Amino acid sequence: MTTTQRLTLSQALVKHLAALRVEMHDGSIQPYCGGVFTIFGHGNVAGMGEALVAERDKLTTYRAHNEQTMAHAAIAFAKAQFRQRIMAVSTSIGPGATNLVTAAAVAHVNRLPVLLLPGDVFATRRPDPVLQQIESFGQGDLSASDCFRPVTRYFDRLTRPEHILTALPRAVQMMTDPANCGPACLSLPQDVQTMAFDCPEDFLHPEVLHFRRPPADARELANAVALLSNAKRPLIVAGGGVIYSQAWAELRAFADAHGVPVVESHGGKSSLPWDHPLNLGAIGVDGVSWANDMAREADVVFAVGTRLQDFTTGSHALFPQAKLLSLNVQPYDAGKWSGMALVADARVGLRQLETGLAGWAADTAWTTRAKQQAAAANARITELTTHIPTDVLPYDAEVIGAVRDSAIELGLDSATRDVALCAAGTLPAELHKLWRASLPGNYHMEYGYSCMGYEVAGGLGVKMARPDQESIVLVGDGSYMMANSELATSVLLGQKIIVVILDNRGYGCIERLQIKTGSPGFNNMLDDCVPEGGERSTIDFAMHARAMGADAVHVKDVAELKTAMVKARKAKRTQVIVIDTTHTRITDGGCWWEVAIPEVSTRTEVNEARTNYVKAQTLQRV
């Protein structure tokens, strides 16, 4: 006879989450859920709130300031844990729920797990329409939570308390699936949250979770071996799948054994240490010239764990001459662009390939050239990041160097100690090219959705996942203004982060793109956006940060920035450093990126840009 407890849906959900354990890739057993972020409101305070307070000693609840950004923090936590652990997010109905939608899209695009628990309207419909309810004139079962359907991997609306017995395990199964990993949403009608049922004791004592490592199909493996064994100028593109599979040792062994140079997408950066002799660094639109040059000459591109996003492939015009082999755990990604698919876990797949590739190596001249390029590149990066401007405002490279080298003053190694985090603007390109990381995960870039406003909240999530490392957020003024409230949350929770705000007084990255595509600068830089009767922006970011509880300073130059960073590293509470920068100087490199240009225009510059655009399209892989 099955033993049961009389519990509400919310109580059963929280008890199950609190009891869940996972076997990590290193063999240790840890709690699967690192806690629950919530902002209470009608729709979750009575049901989920009561359940959370009862289990607060087993499953920590964290109070935040914005639903979207607390979900960003939860997503960053999962990314920093290499997708092995999650956090959950509970909201009220209405705007509390829909504020999560953008964050859900971030997790969906980046293949990152997060458990979203938005409140929903009454399942009984007796009090309809309730406060904040979306009413559809043609669909009686529609609510705001239906917005989550296209941006989650698993969605379920629970209209009976017993539904939790199947819905929650299915959500967890999706989040732990290596191929389908992503956000799961359980929409919880506020009355159903409070309904009781006889919950089986087994549900409250779930088995330890384990991650699968699917091997390659024999035929696909044989085809991949045949392709690689004939390659003279192979190039590995390392993506986020290398990180999440924790296949960095296998990647390094493969590159060393066969003399294959490695380039990195944003997701794959830090797969190899920055100073590995075959690490050419950043590829693509925001990549470095030496990596892109070798991509244009490769005869086989071996994509490991990458989605082949347009920034990585130069909108598929960077290496159309090469044969493409994609090792990916997700068949959808492995089969992109008519390449040869090798569907498998990255670590397992790389090991399987070794059996058939014994004795094979890239051409000696190709390997030698790659090592020479990597050595010269590191010298160039040092030059760019240690330059001290005297008569002009600094740009991102000089800021990055000061942030990095401030660790030296304290006898620390920035490449192993710091986790650098960013998401949008010019900074992703500069960090992709110039940031140095020696350990996997020490470069944390949300560049799948490139969501402005992810940065500060993401820094909080990283610190919660990696308390012994320095979480350093590099963010532009425009992105900071989008969402900064979790700065106060970091102070509230005692989770120290360092935020470096690069203030170029507007959306400098987009203005450059605007001008490059033939339009005049318009509606991007703050000083250009003041209408008649308006006032020039005088935002004091340091004062704003202090008002939210952080220690903050506005430095006048790179030298002061470095000094402030030394002080910030010694501090125990959240630090904010603001520095004025220019958007007119950037680091050379990159390749073409497809941005559609108008077919007709009265501007000569637009017409010229259109001509170049059409010409560049002829280079794309089809």
pTM reported for the whole predicted model: 0.97
Is the same domain home to 541 and 482? yes
Mean pLDDT of 235-261: 98
Contact indicator for 258, 360 with CB cutoff of 8 Å: yes
Structural domain count of the chain: 3
Is the same domain home to 455 and 549? yes
- Judge whether residue 1 has pLDDT over 80: no
Is 135 within a domain?
yes
Residue 5, SS3 per DSSP: strand
83: left (phi over 0), alpha (psi -120 to 50) or beta: left
Is 127 within a domain?
yes
Report the C-alpha gap between 530 and 321 in whole angstroms.
49
Please give the full DSSP string across 314-378, using - where no structure is assigned: TTTTSSTTSEEEEEESSHHHHTGGGPEEEES-HHHHHHHHHHH-TT----HHHHHHHHHHHHHHH
Report the C-alpha gap between 145 and 314 in whole angstroms.
36
Kindly state the tokens that stand for 293. Answer: 């040059």
Report the C-alpha gap between 539 and 481 in whole angstroms.
10
Mean pLDDT of 112-133: 95
- Judge whether residue 621 has pLDDT over 90: no
Q: Tell me which amino acid residue 352 is.
A: Q
Is 535 within a domain?
yes
E runs forming strands in 126-222: 154-157, 184-189, 196-200
Is the same domain home to 346 and 393? no
- Domain harbouring 490, CATH code: 3.40.50.970
Report the C-alpha gap between 310 and 191 in whole angstroms.
45
Is 585 within a domain?
no
Is the same domain home to 242 and 185? no
Is 341 within a domain?
yes
Mean pLDDT of 74-101: 97
Is the same domain home to 96 and 196? yes
pLDDT tens-digit series, residues 488-500:
999 999 999 999 9
Contacts of 187 (CB under 8 A, 6+ apart): 97, 118, 120, 143, 145, 148, 155, 156, 157, 158
Confidence of residue 466 (pLDDT cuts 50, 70, 90): very high
- Judge whether residue 103 has pLDDT over 80: yes
Q: How far is CA 500 from CA 421, 459, 576, in A?
A: 10, 11, 6
Cis peptide before 178 (omega within 30 of 0): no
Report the C-alpha gap between 113 and 385 in whole angstroms.
35
Is the same domain home to 144 and 291? no
Choose one of 374, 405, 422: the last residue of a domain: 374
- Domain harbouring 279, CATH code: 3.40.50.1220
Is the same domain home to 397 and 317? no
DSSP 8-class letter at 161: G
Is 506 within a domain?
yes
Report the C-alpha gap between 189 and 123 in whole angstroms.
6
Is the same domain home to 237 and 178? no
Contact indicator for 86, 115 with CB cutoff of 8 Å: yes
Helices (H), 395-495: 396-405, 414-417, 427-434, 454-465, 477-482, 486-492
Choose one of 580, 595, 611: the last residue of a domain: 580
Rg (CA), the chain: 25
What is the model's pLDDT at position 337?
A: 86
Choose one of 320, 342, 374: the last residue of a domain: 374
What is the model's pLDDT at position 24?
A: 95
Report the C-alpha gap between 307 and 262 in whole angstroms.
16
What is the model's pLDDT at position 55?
A: 97
Least confident of 167-171, 371-375, 385-389: 385-389
Please give the full DSSP string across 111-152, using - where no structure is assigned: T---EEEEEE--SS-TTPSPTT----SS-TT--GGGGGGGG-
Is the same domain home to 89 and 135? yes
- Average pLDDT over the chain, rounded to whole? 97
What is the model's pLDDT at position 206?
A: 98
Mean pLDDT of 352-377: 97
Residue 39, SS3 per DSSP: coil
Is the same domain home to 395 and 525? yes
What is the model's pLDDT at position 391?
A: 86
Q: How far is CA 88 from CA 1, 71, 331, 603, in A?
A: 33, 8, 28, 51
| Sheet of 262-264, strands arranged across | 279-282, 262-264, 234-238, 300-304, 323-328, 340-343
Is the same domain home to 129 and 11? yes
Mean pLDDT of 465-482: 97
pLDDT tens-digit series, residues 426-455:
999 999 999 999 999 999 999 999 999 999
Name the burial class of residue 596, with classes exposed (0-12), middle (13-18) and buried (19+) by CB atoms within 10 angstroms of its CB: exposed
Is 599 within a domain?
no
Q: How far is CA 70 from CA 65, 176, 289, 474, in A?
A: 7, 21, 37, 18
Determine phi and psi for 36, rounding to 5 degrees: -125, 120
Kindly state the tokens that stand for 60. Answer: 């920590």
Q: How far is CA 561 from CA 364, 382, 450, 483, in A?
A: 44, 18, 26, 23
DSSP 8-class letter at 84: S
- Residue 89 has a CB neighbour count (10 Å cut-off) of 29
Is the same domain home to 252 and 303? yes
The separation between the first and the last C-alpha atoms of the chain, rounded to the nearest angstrom, is 62
Residues pairing with 420 in the sheet = 443, 472
Is 434 within a domain?
yes
Confidence of residue 300 (pLDDT cuts 50, 70, 90): very high
Please give the full DSSP string across 549-585, using - where no structure is assigned: T-EEEEESSHHHHHHHHHHHHH-SS-EEEEEE--SS-
Domain holding 267, by residue range, is 218-374
